[in-house]
Amino acid sequence: MKVLLTEGIHPVATELFRRAGCDVDLRKGSLSEDELIEELPGVTLLGIRSNTRVTPRVLDAGKDLLALGCFCIGTNQVHLTDAAERGQAVFNAPFSNTRSVVELVLGEIIALARRLPEKTQRMHEGIWDKSAKGSHEVRGRTLGILGYGNIGTQLSNVAEAFGMRVIFYDTADRLAHGNAKRVGSLDELLAESDVVSIHVDGRPGNAGLFGAEQFAKMKPRAIFINASRGMVVDELALREHILSGHLAGAAMDVFPIEPKAQGDPFDSPLRGLDNVILTPHVGGSTQEAQEEIGYFVANKLLGFVNGGSTALSVNLPQVGLPRPPGTFRMAYLHTSVPGVLADINRTVAETGVNVVGQSLSTSGDHGYVLTDTDAALPEEALATLRRSAHTVWLRTWQP
């Protein structure tokens, strides 16, 4: 198998793929749509991070592509529905860098509350500015978390240990951790919070979620942090509220437009502002997190190509059936219509082969079945299933 890994994915992934006998092609930076289209023929597995866009044109070019791995949390850079229609599984790492993002955000909260960015800059300029003006402890202050998922909940726990009061708002029904309190609206969260930290996903509906109207509703001298998605925030509106003094500071780790490669020029209307921290999308970029992501996603991709497991796939029905030693496995992806499982079992039964284990899951337009048998299914039976109008693909593995 040929594996293409882009954007400097951790070497542990390369090692796992090579141990499995794969031919690995490594790229340090992201690839454009046209570059991906040129490179994909013959590629079985594609590994990307957040900067590479996998469009329908790219997926069409990947005639040999079985699966994609997003070596990060988000998957909005991949057209998931189009990948599912082509039977290409997509995996990500939804939990592996949670702690890294939380630690960055907490460090930024403390740094901004103490106005460390401007103090540091003035020291580098040779100015001794010893003053407590505008400097506060975080203990006793209110942190408002917009988006209470994996990162939001862990941030809630750690911030509370620092003595902060935590409130949160999420459109989904989320269980509060510790002493955190859910509020009924975003406006309520903005009115009460000394610090607002955004942790939402990259779905299209979140584009432009936070603009001039939302900044105006924040408490005077509050702090704003975005370590989620760049397209969520109106940077010009944030700039105006920093310059006016309405907000005391901000930290941004993500941006609407980000450079493609290491060392490329970067620009933002937030550059040059006092008490504003700008970091180059490094929330999850610790050595520990990147190693864990490399290990996790690479194993998910290998589990899929070597045994058909779709556990934690973000676009195909999730099936992870333990495989008894010595069995023969058939993986069957099909359109989700009534009677397909009955057709499979009827076809298998007519061969006289015994089913040892079987698991079916459906999601959206697709159903997925893993079937383990005590003997290989005859080619005629497999051909019958492949000819079905409902078949997307069928694959088999021997012991």
pLDDT above 80 for 228: yes
Neighbouring residues of 307: CB distance < 8 A, sequence distance ≥ 6: 323, 329, 397
pLDDT above 90 for 35: yes
Cβ-in-10-Å burial (0-12, 13-18, 19+) of 34 comes to exposed
Closest CA to 223 of 113, 134, 107, 103: 113
Pairing of strands 142-146, 89-91: unpaired
Question: Tokens 């998605």 identify what position?
Answer: 229
Neighbouring residues of 383: CB distance < 8 A, sequence distance ≥ 6: none
- What three-state secondary structure class fits 330? strand
Mean pLDDT of the 178-198 span? 97
Confidence of residue 142 (pLDDT cuts 50, 70, 90): very high
**What is the rounded CA–CA span in Å between residue 50 and residue 28?**
13
Query: How many residues are given for the chain?
Result: 399
Q: What are phi and psi of 358, to 5 degrees?
A: -155, 140
Neighbouring residues of 359: CB distance < 8 A, sequence distance ≥ 6: 319, 320, 321, 369, 370
Torsion sign across C-alpha atoms 208, 214, 215, 218: negative
Mean pLDDT of the 101-110 span? 97
Per-residue pLDDT at 29: 87
**What is the rounded CA–CA span in Å between residue 69 and residue 305?**
12
Q: What are phi and psi of 299, to 5 degrees?
A: -65, -35
Q: How many CB atoms lie within 10 A of CB 123?
A: 11
Can you read off the two tokens belonging to residue 171?
């459109």
Residues 163, 209: contact at Cβ < 8 Å?
no
Q: What is the dihedral of CA 148, 152, 155, 160, to 10 degrees?
A: -10
Average pLDDT along the chain:
95
Confirm whether pTM is higher than 0.75: yes
Amino acid identity, position 235: E
Neighbouring residues of 325: CB distance < 8 A, sequence distance ≥ 6: 399
Which DSSP string corresponds to 114-147? Answer: TTHHHHHHHHHTT------TT---STTPEEEEE-
Can you read off the two tokens belonging to residue 180?
């955190």
Distance between start and end Cα atoms, the chain? 19
The catalytic site residues sit at: 229, 258, 281
Q: What are phi and psi of 258, to 5 degrees?
A: -120, 140
**What is the rounded CA–CA span in Å between residue 399 and residue 93?**
29
Which of 93-97, 228-232, 375-379 is predicted least confidently? Answer: 93-97
pLDDT above 90 for 66: yes
Which domains does the chain carry? 1-96+286-316 (3.40.50.720), 98-278 (3.40.50.720), 317-399 (3.30.70.260)
Q: What are phi and psi of 146, to 5 degrees?
A: -95, 105
Q: What are phi and psi of 160, to 5 degrees?
A: -65, -35
pLDDT in tens, 282-341: 998 899 999 999 999 999 999 999 999 999 999 999 999 999 999 999 999 999 999 999
Q: What is the dihedral of CA 201, 152, 141, 135, to 10 degrees?
A: -60
Per-residue pLDDT at 152: 97
pLDDT above 90 for 127: yes
Kind and range of the H or E run holding 34: helix 33-39
Closest CA to 148 of 186, 111, 112: 186
Confidence of residue 241 (pLDDT cuts 50, 70, 90): very high
Confidence of residue 262 (pLDDT cuts 50, 70, 90): confident
Residues 388, 394: contact at Cβ < 8 Å?
no
Residues 324, 371: contact at Cβ < 8 Å?
no
